Chains A and B, each alone.
Chain A
Amino acid sequence: EDKVVQSPLSLVVHEGDTVTLNCSYEVTNFRSLLWYKQEKKAPTFLFMLTSSGIEKKSGRLSSILDKKELSSILNITATQTGDSAIYLCAVDSSFGNEKLTFGTGTRLTIIP
C-alpha cells in the first residue's frame, strides 16, 4: 500500500520566519511528487518534482526532492500571514493508471 507521511502535523511561527515542511513516501511505482496549498477549498498546485527536476523555486517557496531518501521538503522564507494554510504533499504512482496518494498535510499558521 502506498504511503505518504508529512511532518510536522501543525506549525505556528511568526511572520518573517523561515519554515521547512517535510514529506516522506513509500510507493511501489514513483512517478512524481507534488506539493499543494489548501486554504479554504480546493488545493492549489505549487510544485511538481520528478526524477528529472528535483528542485523547484517560485518566489519565497522552494522544494527539493531526495529520491535516495524518498523524501521532499518545502521551504518558505520570510513567511507572511497569507502563507497560513494546509500544505499537502502527494505522490503520483503509476501502475497503468495515474493516481495520487496524499499525506495528511501540515497546518501552517503565521502569527503577525
Chain B
Amino acid sequence: SQTIHQWPATLVQPVGSPLSLECTVEGTSNPNLYWYRQAAGRGLQLLFYSVGIGQISSEVPQNLSASRPQDRQFILSSKKLLLSDSGFYLCAWTIGYGYTFGSGTRLTVV
C-alpha cells in the first residue's frame, strides 16, 4: 500500500538555527511531491513541488529551500530560521488524480 512518512511531528527551534524536515513515500514510483505550509488561522500555501529527482520548483520566495535526492524522498531545509517560519508544514504526493498528505510537522521558532 502507498504511505507517506513525515517527521518530526513537532519541532521547537531558536531563531537563526538550521532546519531539516524529511518526507518519504512508500509504495509508489515517480510521484509528484509537495511541501505546503499553513500559518496559524490561514489556508495551505504551496512552498515547493517536485516532479522528479533533483527537480524543484519554488512557488514563494522565502527563507526555505527544498531538495529531492531520491525518487521518494523530499527534504525541506533552511540555513537560518526566522520567526516568520513558524507554522504547520505538510508534505503531500500524487501520481495523478488525488493527493495524499503526511501527518505534518508543527514548527515553532522561538
Q: Among A34, A45, A50, A98, which residue has the most Cβ atoms of chain B within 10 A?
A: A98
A25 contacts the other chain (CB 8 A):
no
Closest Cβ of chain A to B106, distance in Å, is: 9
Determine the interface band of chain B, counting residues with CB < 8 A from chain A. Answer: 20 to 34
Contact B34 A99 (CB under 8 A): yes
> Which residues of B sit under 8 angstroms from A100, Cβ to Cβ?
34, 44, 46, 92, 99
B61 contacts the other chain (CB 8 A):
no
Main secondary structure of the interface of B (DSSP, over half): strand
Nearest-neighbor residue (CB-CB) of B4 within chain A: A42
- A97 with B99, Cβ < 8 A, contacts A42-B104, A88-B43, A90-B44 known: no
Contact A45 B103 (CB under 8 A): no
Q: B residues engaging A (CB < 8 A)? A: 32, 34, 36, 42-46, 49, 51, 57, 59, 90, 92, 94, 96-104
Q: A residues engaging B (CB < 8 A)? A: 4, 6, 32, 34, 41-43, 45, 48, 50, 88, 90, 92, 97-105
